[in-house]
Amino acid sequence: MVNEGHKDNEFKILLVDNMIVAEEKDELKVKLKEIFGYSQFRGNQEVVIRNILSGKNTFVIMPTGAGKSLCYQLPAMIKDGLAIVISPLIALMKNQVDQLNAYGINARFLNSTLSKGEITRLKKECVTGAVKLLYVAPESLNKEENIEFLQKVNVSFVAIDEAHCISEWGHDFRPEYRKIKTMIGQLGDMNVIALTATATPKVQLDIQKNLQMEEADVFVSSFNRKNLYYEVRPKKETKKQLIRFLKEHKGKSGIVYCLSRKKVEEIAQLINVNGFKAAPYHAGLDPDVRMKNQDDFLNEETDIIVATIAFGMGIDKPDVRFVIHYDVPKSLEGYYQETGRGGRDGLEGRCLMFYSHNDLSKLEKFNKDKPVQERENARVLLQEMEFYAESPVCRRKQLLHYFGEEYKEENCGSCDNCVHPRERFDGTEFVKMAIEATKQTNERFNITHLVNVIRGTEDEYVKSYGHFDLPIFGKGDQQDADFWKSVIRQTLIYQYLEKDIDNIGVLKISKKGHAFLKKQHPVELARYHDFTTDVEDEESSERAVINSKSYDEKLFEMLKMLRKKVAKEKRLTTLCCISRSFAGRDGYHLPDHER
Ligand code: ADP
Ligand code: ZN
């Protein structure tokens, strides 16, 4: 009885707690509704917001499109004072400030596009407390006059958007981002919230160290974008493949990324000539033209935007149905962020990358004039890209693994490697050899060296370390280097080995790997991707997996027109989405020149 009474008590306390939580929750939700018009928080938004409101340093890692901005915008509205938002791009700032102003929020930006008079007025407004959010680029924050001015303002907290720019191990390093800590240090003891959509575990650590916020609460959302289909195809007859893909997705919104401005122009033209509506976007275009092309895409005057990676940051179009990488991207972070712009409404998004070794060599050449360390970092990022593209393992599993998340399903059902699985084989002995090689070389080497040791290739490193004397040396000489690279990559993905967080490229044995050495269990591996696969084969089988749903095309066109009209009347550029499915496959025709 006593026990039960005790339980009862516990129950009551829980109930009371729940009520308190419920009340607080409601209040926050009321604000959410009042200010932004949303009824629900998404994912981690609410816990993050509560954390910021309770005055703690907070580190938010959320994939693109998950709703990071709200995490600091709502607290900025609730907290007393002015929230400073550090953001890397002027265009991005303007976009956000425009959106916030449309909600009736007094948000402003401080950057080099403002006149002296505008700056003086803005500063006055900030001091009086009228402004709630101030967007600044690190370059502006670095100016003494701005620091002096901000010292006079009641600052609620500092948000650092795109925080991965801090890390030189990431794909988007901005040296001035590394000075942020010193800058905000001059404003006193500030609460800091750092946000990013891409951060490998190494980059995460680097950001926290640099901002001296190792103690911060870290909120990592799952990076899994369930509705995106990932696919890598060999870069062969690419133009033909591209047009065929577009025919299959006619009338849908999509982005085609190319590496150079020249290529952007060429591909945009190719697409137009083939009867689709495409516009180019790159930094070399006249700003007015560039803006118009972007607006046309957002307003659905243009279906397809062909762009360099200059396009996309801060673009919030929910119904992008495909993202094509015509050229190989420079890093998996970039790739993930760019593909992340597809299917933001939760509906279908196809992510197609064309891949060739040739592209990798070109990218490598771009890096040759960079300082040694930067070049080395860029090389490692490219190598990750190569592994990803050529790997037989589920794309989703690999991408998530890259960002430090374990995807447990064996088959995601929504990537080329899962839909067309590679042949599998018993890899137990190979995994063991990979771990052994790591062990015998004292966990201090990268994949290339391990492959050389296993295969018995005597290069200068093997010689200088005397690794030809190791028992494992040459034990795997029956298989080629690509085979071994693939085995070691899979051993990593299945977490028998792990990356050394302090030494880029170096592999170590994980707990699971140690356990495996003591007591083996069967491990299945997949044959690595063979990029000589017949292109036609890939495509015909790919078509079979797209679930074709039919819809009333006339009605759809009418709805689209109506949406355009309403958006124009309301002067909105970002449109909400009409749910739609893949176009009927029945109408599939090959372009004339391919028949
Ligand atoms: P991120 O910066 O993470 O890429 P954004 O902050 O731009 O994403 O948000 C993506 C989209 O989601 C925006 O259109 C935003 O208005 C919308 N959004 C954010 N939070 C919510 C929510 N709680 N409910 C509905 N829509 C939301
Ligand atoms: Zn998969």
% of the chain surpassing 70 pLDDT: 87
Q: Is 38 in the pocket of ligand 1 (CB under 6 A)?
A: yes
Q: Is the pLDDT of residue 370 over 50?
A: yes
Ligand 2 center–CA 493 separation, angstroms: 13
Q: Is the pLDDT of residue 485 over 50?
A: yes
Of 468, 491, 526, the residue that ends a domain is 526
Q: Is the pLDDT of residue 140 over 60?
A: yes
- pLDDT, residue 529, reads 62
Q: Are residues 471 and 387 in the same domain?
A: no
Q: Are residues 81 and 55 in the same domain?
A: yes
**Residue 340 Cα: closest atom of ligand 1:** 4
Residue 360's pLDDT band (boundaries 50, 70, 90)? Answer: confident
Ligand 2 center–CA 546 separation, angstroms: 15
Phi, psi of 165 (to 5 degrees): -60, -15
- pLDDT, residue 570, reads 65
Side chain identity at residue 270, one-letter code: L
Q: Which residues of 380-396 are buried (b: 16+ CB within 10 A; e: fewer)?
A: ebbbbbbbbbbbbbbbb
Side chain identity at residue 220, one-letter code: V
Tokens 């607006």 belong to 295
Question: What span, in angstroms and rounded, lies between the C-alpha atoms of 12 and 571?
Answer: 52
Q: Is 358 helix (H, G, I), strand (E, B) or coil?
A: helix
Q: Is the pLDDT of residue 335 over 90?
A: yes
- Write the pLDDT tens digit of every residue in 194-239: 999 888 888 899 999 999 999 999 999 988 999 999 999 989 899 9
- pLDDT, residue 170, reads 75
Does any domain span residue 552?
no
Average pLDDT over residues 426-449: 96
CB atoms within 10 A of CB 477: 12
Average pLDDT over residues 63-73: 90
Q: Which domain holds residue 463?
A: 424-526
Q: Are residues 480 and 453 in the same domain?
A: yes
Q: Is 41 in the pocket of ligand 1 (CB under 6 A)?
A: yes
Does any domain span residue 10?
yes
Tokens 């033909």 belong to 240
- pLDDT, residue 169, reads 78
Mode of pairing for the β-strands spanning 424-426 and 524-526 = antiparallel
Ligand 1 center–CA 96 separation, angstroms: 11
Q: Are residues 449 and 381 in the same domain?
A: no
- Least confident span in 202-206, 315-319, 556-560: 556-560
Ligand 1 center–CA 571 separation, angstroms: 20
Ligand 2 center–CA 396 separation, angstroms: 5
Q: Is 70 in the pocket of ligand 1 (CB under 6 A)?
A: yes
Instruction: Give the residue whose CA is nearest to atom 9 of ligand 1.
Output: 67
Q: Is 316 in the pocket of ligand 1 (CB under 6 A)?
A: yes
Q: Is 52 in the pocket of ligand 1 (CB under 6 A)?
A: no
Q: Are residues 378 and 429 in the same domain?
A: no
Q: Is 67 in the pocket of ligand 1 (CB under 6 A)?
A: yes
Q: How far apart are the first and last CA of the chain?
A: 83
Of 172, 192, 220, the residue that ends a domain is 220
Q: Could you tell me the CATH number of the domain that includes residue 238?
A: 3.40.50.300
Q: Is the pLDDT of residue 248 over 80?
A: yes
Q: Are residues 189 and 237 in the same domain?
A: no
- Least confident span in 129-138, 537-546, 563-572: 537-546
- Least confident span in 34-43, 75-84, 264-273, 579-588: 579-588
Instruction: Give the residue whose CA is nearest to atom 26 of ligand 1.
Output: 38
Of how many residues is the chain composed? 595
- pLDDT, residue 394, reads 94
% of the chain surpassing 90 pLDDT: 60
- pLDDT, residue 414, reads 97
Instruction: Give the residue whose CA is nearest to atom 20 of ligand 1.
Output: 67
- Least confident span in 243-252, 440-449, 583-592: 583-592
Q: Are residues 354 and 250 in the same domain?
A: yes
The separation between CA 21 and the C-alpha centre of its own chain, rounded to angstroms, equals 33
Residue to substitute in 42, 103, 164 for testing ligand 1 pocket (most ligand atoms within 8 angstroms of CB): 42
Average pLDDT over residues 399-408: 91
Q: Are residues 357 and 295 in the same domain?
A: yes
Q: Is the pLDDT of residue 9 over 70?
A: no
Question: What span, in angstroms and rounded, lies between the C-alpha atoms of 374 and 170?
Answer: 10
- Write the pLDDT tens digit of every residue in 23-38: 555 889 999 999 999 9
Average pLDDT over residues 413-442: 94
Residue 5's pLDDT band (boundaries 50, 70, 90)? Answer: very low
Average pLDDT over residues 172-190: 89
Residue 531's pLDDT band (boundaries 50, 70, 90)? Answer: low
- Write the pLDDT tens digit of every residue in 71-120: 999 999 999 999 999 998 887 788 889 999 999 999 999 988 889 999 99
- pLDDT, residue 502, reads 77
Q: Are residues 196 and 268 in the same domain?
A: no
Does any domain span residue 336?
yes
- pLDDT, residue 549, reads 41
CB 277 within 8 A of CB 302: yes
Q: Is the pLDDT of residue 540 over 60?
A: no
- pLDDT, residue 423, reads 85
For the ranges 88-92, 186-190, 572-576, the maximum mean pLDDT occurs at 186-190
Distances (CA, A) of 536 to 240, 244, 589: 11, 11, 15
Q: Could you tell me the CATH number of the domain that includes residue 474?
A: 1.10.10.10
- pLDDT, residue 25, reads 54
Q: Is the pLDDT of residue 163 over 90?
A: yes
- Least confident span in 62-66, 186-190, 556-560, 591-595: 591-595
Does any domain span residue 410?
no
**Residue 39 Cα: closest atom of ligand 1:** 24
Side chain identity at residue 341, one-letter code: R
For the ranges 81-95, 162-176, 181-195, 526-540, the maximum mean pLDDT occurs at 181-195
Phi, psi of 52 (to 5 degrees): -70, -40
CB atoms within 10 A of CB 495: 14
Average pLDDT over residues 139-157: 92
**Residue 62 Cα: closest atom of ligand 1:** 3
Question: What span, in angstroms and rounded, lies between the C-alpha atoms of 52 and 172?
Answer: 26
Of 220, 240, 271, the residue that ends a domain is 220
Does any domain span residue 118?
yes
Residue 505's pLDDT band (boundaries 50, 70, 90)? Answer: confident
Instruction: Give the residue whose CA is nearest to atom 24 of ligand 1.
Output: 38
Average pLDDT over residues 274-292: 93
Residue to substitute in 38, 70, 298 for testing ligand 1 pocket (most ligand atoms within 8 angstroms of CB): 70
Instruction: Give the residue whose CA is nearest to atom 17 of ligand 1.
Output: 67
- Least confident span in 34-43, 301-310, 349-358, 569-578: 569-578
Side chain identity at residue 189, one-letter code: D
Q: Are residues 283 and 151 in the same domain?
A: no
Q: Are residues 101 and 206 in the same domain?
A: yes
Q: Are residues 189 and 70 in the same domain?
A: yes
Q: Is 312 in the pocket of ligand 1 (CB under 6 A)?
A: no
Does any domain span residue 115?
yes
CB 474 within 8 A of CB 455: yes
Ligand 1 center–CA 210 separation, angstroms: 28
Does any domain span residue 573?
no
- pLDDT, residue 572, reads 57
Does any domain span residue 545?
no
Ligand 1 center–CA 398 separation, angstroms: 26
Number of domains in the chain: 3
Q: Is the pLDDT of residue 586 over 80?
A: no
- pLDDT, residue 262, reads 95
Residue to substitute in 42, 49, 69, 575 for testing ligand 1 pocket (most ligand atoms within 8 angstroms of CB): 69
